[in-house]
């Protein structure tokens, strides 16, 4: 297969697959961000129990990233930036909160976050596709 088969034009031939991927990825982050922002005290308490510094500030920043990054991915606005940010966040979350590999659920959550990061990095490489604000803006 030639190198041109992997160009961004190859992804444009399946705009629905790209849209479905964006919907599925964002479906995890939009409600999580909203939940964090509407329960800052509980989120900050949890973050504080993990030893994170300035847990209230971190809770607000994480909630905003998840909510607005998820919305950006959903509608395809500044998708590459949002996908990279959420991919890096997914890796950080895995490394901060899910490294107790003696607990099978923590190991599964670690692997899930790493896989989600992979999906975001593929999205960042491919772009939002034809059914997006990015495509409409050129």
CA atoms within 13 A on the CB side of 53: 0
pLDDT digits (tens, 9 = 90+) for 23-54: 999 999 999 999 999 999 999 999 999 999 99
Domain housing 52: 13-128
pLDDT of residue 15: 86
Among residues 133, 118, 123, 127, the alpha carbon closest in space to that of 8 is found at: 127
How much is the pTM? 0.89
pLDDT band at residue 132 using 50, 70 and 90 as cut-offs? very high
How many domains is the chain built from? Answer: 1
Taking a C-beta distance cutoff of 8 angstroms, is the pair 101, 45 a contact?
no
CA distance 41 to 2: 54
Looking at the domain assignment, is residue 72 inside a domain?
yes
Looking at the domain assignment, is residue 96 inside a domain?
yes
DSSP string, 5-60: GGSHHHHHT-HHHHHHHHHHHHHHHHHHHHHHHHTHHHHHHHHHHTT-SSHHHHHH
CB-based burial of residue 46 (10 Å sphere; 0-12 exposed, 13-18 middle, 19+ buried)?
Answer: middle
Looking at the domain assignment, is residue 28 inside a domain?
yes
Six-digit token string for 12 = 């444009």
Q: Is the pLDDT of residue 2 over 50?
A: no
Looking at the domain assignment, is residue 118 inside a domain?
yes
Looking at the domain assignment, is residue 133 inside a domain?
no
Looking at the domain assignment, is residue 5 inside a domain?
no
pLDDT digits (tens, 9 = 90+) for 51-78: 999 999 999 999 999 999 999 999 999 9
Looking at the domain assignment, is residue 4 inside a domain?
no
pLDDT of residue 131: 95
Looking at the domain assignment, is residue 78 inside a domain?
yes
Phi, psi of 59, deg, nearest 5: -60, -45
């Amino acid at each position: 297969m030639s190198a041109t088969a992997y160009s961004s034009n190859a992804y444009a031939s399946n705009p629905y697959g790209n849209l479905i991927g964006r919907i599925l990825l964002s479906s995890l982050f939009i409600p999580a961000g909203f939940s964090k922002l509407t329960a800052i005290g509980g989120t900050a308490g949890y973050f504080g129990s993990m030893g994170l510094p300035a847990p209230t500030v971190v809770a607000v920043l994480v909630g905003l990233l998840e909510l607005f990054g998820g919305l950006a991915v959903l509608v395809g606005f500044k998708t590459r930036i949002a996908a990279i940010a959420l991919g890096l966040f997914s890796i950080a979350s895995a490394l901060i909160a899910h490294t107790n590999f003696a607990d099978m659920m923590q190991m599964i959550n670690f692997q899930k976050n790493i896989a989600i990061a992979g999906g975001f990095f593929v999205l960042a490489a491919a772009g939002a596709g034809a059914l997006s604000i990015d495509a409409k803006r050129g």
